[in-house]
Chain A
Amino acid sequence: MRLLAGLMLASIAFAQMRSITLAGKSPVVTFRVVFTTGAAADPDKPGLAHLTAAMLAGGGTRDLSYKQIVDAMFPMASSVTAQTDQEMTTFTGATHVDNLDAYYKLFRAMLLEPGWREDDFKRLKDEASNALRVGLRGNNDEELGKEALYSALYRGTPYGHYSTGAVSALEKMSLDDLKQFYKQHYTQSNLIVGLAGAYPADFLERIKKDFGVLPMQDSTPTLEVKPRAMDRTHALIVEKNTRSVAYSMGFPIDVKRGDPDYPALLLMQSYFGPHRMSGGRLFQRIREIRGINYGDYAYIEYFPRGMFLMDPSPNLARRSQIFQIWIRPVEPPAAAFTLRLAAYELDKLVKDGIPVDDFDRTKEFLGKYVNLLTKTKSAELGYAIDSLVYGIPDYNSYVKNAVAKLTREQVNTAIRKHLRTDRLQIVAVAANAEDLKMQITGASPSAIQYNSAKPADILAEDKIVGAWDLGLRPEDVEIVPAAKVFE
Chain B
Amino acid sequence: MKFCVLLYAAVLFAADPPKKTFPFPYTQEELPNGLRLVTISTDSPNLVSIYIVVQTGSRNEVEPGKTGFAHLFEHLMFRGTEQYSPQKYQEVLQRAGAASNASTGDDFTQYYTTFSKEDLPQILAMEADRFQHLKYSPEMFKTETGAVLGEYNKNSSNPEEKLDEVLHDTAFDRHPYKHTTMGFLKDVQDMPNQYDYSLRFFDRYYRPEYTTIVVAGDVDSKRVRALADQSWGSWKRGSYRPDIPVEPLQKGPRENRVDWPLPTLPLIAIAYKGPAFTDTQKDWAALDVLATLAFSRTSDLYQKLVVNEQKVDTLDGEIARRVDPNLFEVEARVKRADDMQYVRDQILNTVKRFQNEVVPADKLAAVKNRERYQFTMQLDNSQTVAQTVARFVAQRRTPDTIDRLFEIYAQLTPEDIRAAAGKYLVESGRTIVTLTGAGAGGGK
Contacts and interface: CB of A to CB of B under 8 A. Distances in A.
A99 B138 CA distance: 58
B429 to A, nearest CB: 29
Contact of A243 (B12, B147, B153, B374): B153
Interface string B9-32: 011101100000000000000000
Interface in A430-445: none
A465 B156 CA distance: 28
Contact of A98 (B15, B96, B307): B15
A139 to B, nearest CB: 4
A450 B114 contact: no
Interface stretch (A12-20, A37-45, A225-233, A289-297): A289-297
A213 interface: no
B100 A240 contact: no
B383 A70 contact: no
B263 A242 contact: no
Interface stretch (A324-332, A346-354, A408-416, A417-425): A324-332
Contacts of A362: 94
Given A75-B366, A76-B11, A371-B46, A138 B264 contact: yes
Contact of A454 (B3, B10, B139): B139
B153 A126 contact: no
A71 interface: yes
Interface string B379-421: 0111110000000000000000000000000000000000000
Interface stretch (A3-11, A214-222, A275-283, A469-477): A275-283
Contacts of A329: 150, 153-154, 157
B310 A126 contact: yes
Contact of B377 (A96, A244, A291): A96
A138 B143 contact: no
B377 A77 contact: yes
A94 to B, nearest CB: 6
Nearest to B300: A67
A374 to B, nearest CB: 10
A301 interface: no
A452 to B, nearest CB: 3
B146 A292 contact: yes
B101 A310 contact: yes
Given A307-B154, A329-B154, A452-B139, A77 B370 contact: yes
B244 interface: no
B11 A361 contact: no
B152 to A, nearest CB: 9
A142 interface: yes
A372 B114 CA distance: 8
Given A122-B310, A139-B160, A377-B380, A330 B143 contact: no
A423 B300 CA distance: 55
A72 B157 contact: no
Most central of A244, A284, A362 by chain B CB within 10 Å: A244
Interface stretch (B85-93, B166-174, B352-360): B85-93
Contact of A375 (B47, B263, B303, B369): B47
Contacts of B78: 278
B265 to A, nearest CB: 5
Contact of A68 (B3, B90, B93, B147): B3
Contacts of A328: 150, 154
A74 B298 contact: yes
A63 to B, nearest CB: 7
A182 B115 CA distance: 43
Given A96-B373, A310-B99, A365-B97, A452 B154 contact: no
B94 A361 contact: yes
A68 B1 contact: yes
A279 B93 contact: yes
Contacts of B250: none
Contact of A452 (B142, B264, B298): B142
A451 B139 CA distance: 8
A28 B373 CA distance: 10
Interface in B27-55: 44, 46-47
A335 B156 CA distance: 17
A367 interface: yes
A468 to B, nearest CB: 21
B261 interface: yes
B150 A330 contact: yes
Interface in A26-81: 26-28, 63-64, 66-68, 70-72, 74-78
B237 interface: no
Nearest to B115: A368
Contacts of B264: 134, 138-139
A364 interface: yes
A94 B153 contact: no
Interface in B97-155: 97-101, 114-116, 138-147, 149-151, 153-154
Nearest to A334: B146
A321 B170 CA distance: 47
Contact of A130 (B14, B94, B265, B308): B265
Given A278-B90, A368-B115, A451-B192, A76 B376 contact: no
Interface in B201-232: none
Contact of A291 (B114, B147, B303, B313): B147
Most central of A130, A277, A291 by chain B CB within 10 Å: A291
B159 interface: yes
A367 B97 contact: yes
B197 interface: no
Nearest to A294: B150
B200 interface: no
A230 B366 CA distance: 58
B4 A72 contact: yes
B154 A127 contact: no
Given A98-B14, A130-B313, A375-B383, A141 B157 contact: yes
B97 A277 contact: no
A369 B153 contact: no
A102 B11 contact: yes
Contacts of A76: 11, 369-370, 373
A74 B300 CA distance: 13
Contact of B143 (A242, A291, A295): A291
Contact of A294 (B139, B143, B154): B154
A63 B142 contact: no
A292 B150 contact: yes
B192 A452 contact: yes
Interface string A118-134: 01001100110010011
Given A311-B99, A451-B192, 7 more contacts: A71-B8, A99-B14, A119-B308, A244-B153, A294-B147, A329-B150, A451-B146
6 contacts: A98-B14, A138-B437, A139-B157, A277-B99, A279-B90, A329-B157
Closest A-B pairs by Cβ, 10 of them:
A368-B97, A291-B146, A452-B142, A291-B143, A77-B374, A293-B150, A369-B97, A77-B373, A294-B150, A75-B366
Interface of B: 1, 3-4, 7-8, 10-12, 14-15, 44, 46-47, 78, 86, 90-91, 93-101, 114-116, 138-147, 149-151, 153-154, 156-160, 192, 261-265, 296-298, 303, 306-308, 310, 313, 333, 335, 365-367, 369-371, 373-374, 376-377, 380-384, 437
